Structure 1
Amino acid sequence: MTLVPQGGSADALPTVTILLFNGAQLIDFAGPWEVFGTAGLLVHTVAEKAEPLTAVFGAKIIPDYTFENSPRTHLLLIPGGGVFQEAIKNPALIHWIQTKATEAKVVMSVCTGAFLLQAAGLLEGHTVTTTYGMIDDLSGPKTKVVYDRRFVESGNLITTAGLSSGIDGALYAVSRLLGSGIAQSVALEMEYNWDPTGNYARAALADRFLPDGLAYAKPRIKGAQAKMISTAGDRDQWETKIVVSHPETVSEVLELMRARIKANTATGGMFKPVSHIHGPPQVSVAGGGKLTWKFTDDDSQQWSGECTVEPYEQRVDRLLVTIRVARAK
């Protein structure tokens, strides 16, 4: 890696500073790093100490600089991951972010990295986003959150949704620094389908209205043992199929699903829970191993749901549960 001269120069390539810490999410910094490197930007990493760090999944990485000697930067990248384990509790790290943010033309967070910017007091007066399920935790009297964007630009801040969204945010940052043509060229070289005006956003998908862990693509229903068969859809409709081994009868599973659907409020946020359904869903037993329900989301949109329970043809001791939700037309 070509390291950045401490003094820099007026005609030097834009520099990118990537903050690293134990528990950092690999794709949060590696994805944007690939973008910035492909664009020809000078990329360097910084951590509190010049020691090997352990990112998620056991990946080891050695920073180029420390907080004490980090060069000036054009773009400051703050990844997410295990920010609540150590990073957000580290006053030196938060102070360094505050200091570097004053010199950077662009400050960008990926996923839960936004919470480090929040701790540094950098989100007030801005519109922001973060990873699915935690967006509500960023909201405040002077901070507006959005759910339907992979990245959001607000002033000199770019905040992105989770994980791979950092690639989109990084490409947008390149377009700001070097022009849209360069960003398009980088995306093609990376064989990445970049659509800066696209409407895909994880937090806007219709499975957010499914009960329990189904809202996070996990076969987790309180009181049940299940395995995921399929889960797919878009912003307007979703279908999930799970195979249940416990409870063991159609009537028991129907009653369990009725209770879990009725209790579901589509709550977002880990620290500041916010319900995205107005009132409890109206659940009806339709007969023939079927439930139906209706609900209204927090945008006053009407939705309907259907849950069917039937024998699973591949295992006589299992039941197939299909859950569907759809926005009213």
Structure 2
Amino acid sequence: MRKLMIIVLATIIVGCNTNSSEPETIQGTSPTPQQQNQKDGLAKHLKPFKPELPTIGLLMFDGVLQGEVIATSDVFGKPSRDFEQLFNVITIAETKAAITTEEGIHLVPDYTFDNCPKLTALFIPSGYDMHTQVRNVKMIDFIKKKNEETQYIVSNCAGAQLIGASGIADGHKIVTYIGGGRELQKQYPNLKVQDDSLVTFVEDGKFSSSNGNLTSYISALNLVEKMTSTAHREFVEEYLYIDRLRNWKK
């Protein structure tokens, strides 16, 4: 009897260990991206820098609104439906020192202004203290330099002030945070500032911009579709459960 109990117990333990190593899926259905990543192991999350891929640069500075950095990395960091890496997503700051976001999270940049690799797109976020940033000559020079090589420049929220200070989008349409357009137009009269009470996102040539905060996902999704396909954008939205966000009140 004792021997039989030991055998039963061993069977239960092995069964539990086997089940815990595999994400649960419904028979006859395809695994979700999250389940597939679990199944493939942690290595799927380690994304090396691949020179042959487009590189998306996320500018950071002390006091940055972290959601505007995270939104872009959320969108461009997702793989293809075949779980292939499509982009290099890197963070950039003036130095390698950890920056502190407005919300209090510490982020360590991948690159500095001095060693940043060639970028395909540069995303410029905002912070509550843009006074300091627009007077940072090194930052403005970095934006000017990267404008010469990038195919796309995107600003979110008050990041539009850095666009204005750099002069790279003079004559182009731009939008900023709700309530900030009038002052932006006054400070940088060469910009075509849109009515932020009506316009959430605008694109003009290589430049695009949004009101920021959660609408930063709009600017990122727009560009990821432009750089890939509508099907991939829909996959990313599915991956992020954006459909659930749209329908949450239901």
Q: Report the TM-score, using the length of structure 2 for normalisation.
A: 0.71
Q: Distance in 1 between matches of 2:191 and 2:219?
A: 23
Offset of 1:85 from its aligned partner? 4.6
Q: Who is 1:37 aligned against?
A: 77
Q: How many residues align?
A: 191
Q: Who is 1:4 aligned against?
A: 49
The reply on whether 1:117 has 2:151 as its aligned counterpart is no
The percentage of counterpart residues that share the same residue type is: 28
Determine which of 22, 45, 55 is the counterpart of 1:15.
Answer: 55
Offset of 1:192 from its aligned partner? 1.1
Q: Who is 1:151 aligned against?
A: 201
Offset of 1:141 from its aligned partner? 4.7
Please tell me whether the aligned partners of residues 24 and 56 of structure 1 are also in contact (alpha carbons under 8 angstroms).
yes
Q: Distance in 2 between matches of 1:193 and 1:80?
A: 27
Please tell me whether the aligned partners of residues 174 and 191 of structure 2 are also in contact (alpha carbons under 8 angstroms).
no
Amino acid at match of 1:112: A
- RMSD (Å), alpha carbons: 2.1
Q: Who is 1:100 aligned against?
A: 146
Instruction: Check 1:133–1:153 CA distance in 2 against 1; reply closer, same or farther (3 A cut).
Output: same
Determine which of 104, 109, 112 is the counterpart of 1:58.
Answer: 104
Determine which of 213, 226, 229 is the counterpart of 1:176.
Answer: 226
Amino acid at match of 1:132: I
Task: Compare relative contact order (CA 8 Å, sep 6+) and give the higher one, 1 or 2.
Answer: 2
Q: Distance in 2 between matches of 1:193 and 1:127?
A: 30
The reply on whether 1:189 has 2:225 as its aligned counterpart is no
Q: Who is 1:91 aligned against?
A: 137
Looking at secondary structure, tell me which structure has more strand per residue.
1
Q: Distance in 2 between matches of 1:164 and 1:180?
A: 21
Q: Distance in 2 between matches of 1:4 and 1:106?
A: 20
Please tell me whether the aligned partners of residues 164 and 191 of structure 2 are also in contact (alpha carbons under 8 angstroms).
no
Instruction: Check 1:19–1:115 CA distance in 2 against 1; reply closer, same or farther (3 A cut).
Output: same
Offset of 1:193 from its aligned partner? 4.0
Determine which of 110, 117, 139 is the counterpart of 1:71.
Answer: 117
Offset of 1:170 from its aligned partner? 0.1
1:293-327 residue CA offsets vs partner (Å, 9 max, x unmatched): xxxxxxxxxxxxxxxxxxxxxxxxxxxxxxxxxxx
Q: Distance in 1 between matches of 2:108 and 2:191?
A: 37
Offset of 1:4 from its aligned partner? 3.4
Please tell me whether the aligned partners of residues 202 and 210 of structure 2 are also in contact (alpha carbons under 8 angstroms).
yes
Please tell me whether the aligned partners of residues 123 and 154 of structure 2 are also in contact (alpha carbons under 8 angstroms).
yes
Offset of 1:14 from its aligned partner? 1.5
1:202-240 residue CA offsets vs partner (Å, 9 max, x unmatched): xxxxxxxxxxxxxxxxxxxxxxxxxxxxxxxxxxxxxxx
Q: Report the TM-score, using the length of structure 1 for normalisation.
A: 0.55
Offset of 1:149 from its aligned partner? 2.5
1:81-140 residue CA offsets vs partner (Å, 9 max, x unmatched): 134253222100110011011111110011111111111102311111011110222222
Please tell me whether the aligned partners of residues 22 and 86 of structure 1 are also in contact (alpha carbons under 8 angstroms).
no
- 3-state SS in 2 of match to 1:57: coil
1:51-76 residue CA offsets vs partner (Å, 9 max, x unmatched): 01111121100000111100001110
Query: For residues 112-261 of structure 1, what are the structure 2 equivalents within 5 Å?
Result: 112-139=158-185, 140-147=189-196, 148-193=198-243
The runs of at least 4 aligned residues of structure 1 exceeding 6 Å deviation read none
- 3-state SS in 1 of match to 2:153: strand
Instruction: Please list every run of 5 or more consecutive structure 2 residues that lacks an aligned counterpart in the other structure.
Output: 1-45, 80-85, 245-250
Looking at secondary structure, tell me which structure has more helix per residue.
2
Please tell me whether the aligned partners of residues 54 and 87 of structure 2 are also in contact (alpha carbons under 8 angstroms).
yes
Amino acid at match of 2:235: S
Please tell me whether the aligned partners of residues 127 and 145 of structure 1 are also in contact (alpha carbons under 8 angstroms).
yes
Q: Who is 1:275 aligned against?
A: none
1:17-56 residue CA offsets vs partner (Å, 9 max, x unmatched): 0111000001111111101101542100111101011111
Please tell me whether the aligned partners of residues 22 and 82 of structure 1 are also in contact (alpha carbons under 8 angstroms).
no
Q: Distance in 1 between matches of 2:112 and 2:47?
A: 16
